[in-house]
Each structure stands twice: as structure tokens, then as C-alpha cells.
Amino acid sequence: MTQQKVRFVSLGCAKNLVDTEVMAAKLAAADWALTVDENDADAIVVNTCAFIDAAKEESTEALLELAVRKRSGQQLIVAGCLAQRFGEQLQALVPEIDGVIGTGAYAGIVELLEDVRAGERPVRLHLDAEPEHDFLPRLVTTPRATAYLKIAEGCDHPCTFCIIPQLRGRFRSRSEQSILKEAAALVDAGAKELILIAQDTSMWGRDRGIRRGGLAQLLERLHQIEQLQWIRLLYLYPATVDAELVDAIASLPKVCKYVDMPLQHTHPEILRKMLRPSNGDRYLEIIQDLRARISDLTVRSTFIVGFPGETQEHVDHLAAWIERAELDRAGFFEYSREDATPAAELAHQVPAKIKRRRLIRLREAQRHASQRARNRRVGRVTRVLVEEERRLRRTDAIRRQIGRPSAWFGRSMGEAPGVDGGIYFSGACAIGGFADVRLEWSGPFDYVGRAMQQPRTQATLRGLQES
């Protein structure tokens, strides 16, 4: 029998990417061959996102394009958040879809495809009570030295703008044993940086009875994995960051001095409507405390612009807060009105043109703070994880700074992949290794530097003499 081939299309966040990697590995273990050629695939699995309008549009467009091009005998499977949200409706709207598998059922991808091949049109949308499987095997698709490590599933926060609890279920921490087992496997396979992700990473363990210090305890255990070099935390929630976690970030050398804490807004009236904790003044106190206790800290956040009822006064408040906070980086997103969320029913929805205008203003306010943060790093030497060699366009400002058509590219502890830019540099190095780089120039997103020559040890000198 000819070996079946499958192609994956993964859209959306890093949590989706992990799910895709698990599905790909399970099919590979079941003797499916993976392919990037759509025409050569017997099945195409699209792992979709449905968090905001733009994500739904991207997922829908990808599905419709694949449905139009679908050849006879080819199977089209929809997975992920769009599948979880709309289920059987997708097959009614797009008859070319052969199977639907939701966010909690993807571990059964092999069985679903077997059912499709048997002539069924299955829809699997159940949510696992606990995400206890080890996410192994996994076919990691990120650069070899970096891997995401999903430590929990779902969310318990009642944010009025967010559909995630309906798509992913209640917050469910993976067990420490399950996480450590997967972490060790990823490191054995070559990962040097593990990026811990969840909808609220800092809440890990609380649903398992650990009231405080759970994530700090997990970091200490991960820190003991010998070949692991960096541990990065994404998506901390301001109300669940405890003193033990701050101490762990400060004291454990392998933990990146990097905090990604989505705040969404700073005006107390908007935060109350969002059902988000605290207020802008408290957020400033948290950030100031983090910086006081963690040296060389990079702070990133995200904000929603144009939430229902937001006025110019609220925007002015947020802009002034941004100028005071001096965040290293921030992302801004226009509010997306999502059906079945409380915010969708609120009065005074903000028109799209006004949201766009406010977005531009707030991005400009943050741009100056980000540039000041980058300028402060110029002249320093930083450790860089080397990801790849990149060709540079003739008109690229980075090429003018480097003075050559290609450069090494990597990230320091201060840059998370996909959102923060990185460091271009010249000099001797190896992909997947580390280089000490002196930062010589900063652009709007990236740095340019030069790898430092490694000092020659006595053993090195003896080796040169002997050769």
C-alpha cells in the first residue's frame, strides 16, 4: 500500500503551533509521510485561529483557497480554534471539508483521518478534562535550538472581550512530571531555549492546589536540566505574578530576564468593563518592582485600543501612562467584537476609523520609548542564540551597516521569537550555538553588531603549537 502523505498549515499563536507539532508527530508515527507540497498531499490539515476578526479571516481564506484547489481523493481537515467555535457549521458552509477536530481532541488526529478514509465526516470537539498526555512525540518546527513548552491549557479569567475560555475550556495545568519529561526530551533533541507558554503562564499549579510559588518551583526544576541554556516566560498575568516568581526570575541564571505581561489597558473605567484586575497606577508599581529586583530586565506588554465606551480621555490616560512606563516593547491591537462575549453587547462601540487613528497615536507614543530602550543597549556585549544566516536586500539599512550581502541572525535574552526583532551580526559562529556580540547600531526593530573573538585559552595555544 502506498504511504499516505499529509501537509499541515498552522495558523495563529505558539500554542496552536505546539498542537500542530503533536499532530504531525502522531501521524508520522502512524506511517504518514509529511510533505510541504499541497499537490502531493493525500490529506491537508489546517490548524486554525479564531481569537479576533483578523485571525478568523486568515483562517477562513486559507480554508476556502484549499477547498477550491482540493483535488479528487484529497482530504481536507479543519483543526483548532475555528473548528472548536463553529464545528459542524464549517462543513455545512464548506462541503469540501471532510473532518473537523477541535482544540481538545487533536491527540486523536490519526483516528479521525482513518474515519475520513472510511467514508465518514467526523466532527470531534470534546475537551480533555486534563492535558495529561506528554505532548510526545513532537515534531518541532521552530529553529532547532528553540522549542515551545505548553504548560497549561484553557483559561479561567472572565475578560469580557475574550473568546478563549469558550474555545479552550477551563484552565488546566499539566503535571510537573509531564512537563519535565517533555522538557528533557526537547533538550535531548537539541533545544537550548525552552519557551513556556499558556493563556496565563503565571497561574500554573493553582488549579492543582499550589496557592503560591508554583511556577517558581517549576522553574527551579527546569533549571536543573544540564544542557538547557535559556528558559523564557510568555504571557504572565498581573494578578498572578507572585513574589516567589519574581525571585526565581531574578536568581536563576538560565531564566531569561524578560517579562511579557499583557495589560490590555490602564484606565480603571476601561479595565472594569474588561473585568481586568487593578489599574494603571498598580501596573506601574508592579513594573517598577520588577525592574528593581531583576537587573537588565526587558518588559513587553500588549494593549487593546477602541474597547466599547473608550473615550478620548481614556486614550489620553493610556498615552500618558505609556510615556511614564518606558516599556521596552509593546503591541497594540484594535478591539475585535466577538460574538458570544459580554463586550460584544456593550453600548458605544467605537467606529473602525477612530480605532485606527488611536492605534497609530499609541504606537507612536511607544515608538520613542522603545527606541530609547534600544539605544541604551548599543555598545554593550550580549549573548546571542544564533538561528540562521540571512541574505540582505541591497536597499536594506542593515546591509549598509553590516557592509556585506548576508549576516548571521539571532536573539538575546531580550528578544522573544516572532514579535521582538533580533540581532544581525558578522563574525565566526555556528547555527544553534551562542555568540557574544557587541551591539553597534539599532534600527526600528533590530540591532546590528559584531561577534567578539573568543579568548584563546592555554589549551588552545598548545593545540596551535602542536599543529
The pLDDT value recorded for residue 456 is 41
Q: How confident is the model at residue 131 (pLDDT cuts 50, 70, 90)?
A: low
Residue type, 37: D
pLDDT in tens, 273-285: 999 988 999 999 9
Ranges for all domains in the chain classified under CATH 3.40.50.12160: 5-124
Q: Is the peptide bond before 137 cis (omega within 30 degrees of 0)?
A: yes
Q: Give the model confidence (pLDDT) of 189-244 as tens digits.
A: 999 999 999 999 999 999 999 988 999 999 999 999 999 999 999 999 999 999 99
Tens digits of residue pLDDT in 413-440: 999 999 999 999 998 889 999 999 999 9
Residue 372 clears pLDDT 60, i.e. is over it:
yes
pTM here is 0.91
Whether 163 contacts 341, CB under 8 Å: yes
Q: What percent of the chain has pLDDT over 70?
A: 95
Average pLDDT value for the chain: 91
What is residue 441's predicted lDDT score, i.e. its pLDDT? 94
Share of the chain above pLDDT 90, in %: 79
Topology, domain 378-451: OB fold (Dihydrolipoamide Acetyltransferase, E2P) (2.40.50)
What is the pLDDT, as a whole number, of residue 222? Answer: 98
Residue 463 is predicted with a pLDDT of 35
Q: Which CATH architecture has domain 146-376?
A: Alpha-Beta Horseshoe (3.80)
Parts of the chain belonging to CATH 3.80.30.20:
146-376
Per residue in 14-67, pLDDT (tens digit) is: 999 999 999 999 999 999 999 999 999 999 999 999 887 888 889 999 999 999
Instruction: Summarize the confidence of residues 313-325 as an average pLDDT.
Output: 96
Name the superfamily (CATH) of residues 5-124: Methylthiotransferase, N-terminal domain (3.40.50.12160)
Residue 185's pLDDT is what?
A: 94
pLDDT over 70 (residue 145): yes
| Residues carrying CATH 2.40.50.140, the chain | 378-451
Gap between the Cα atoms of 82 and 47, Å rounded: 8
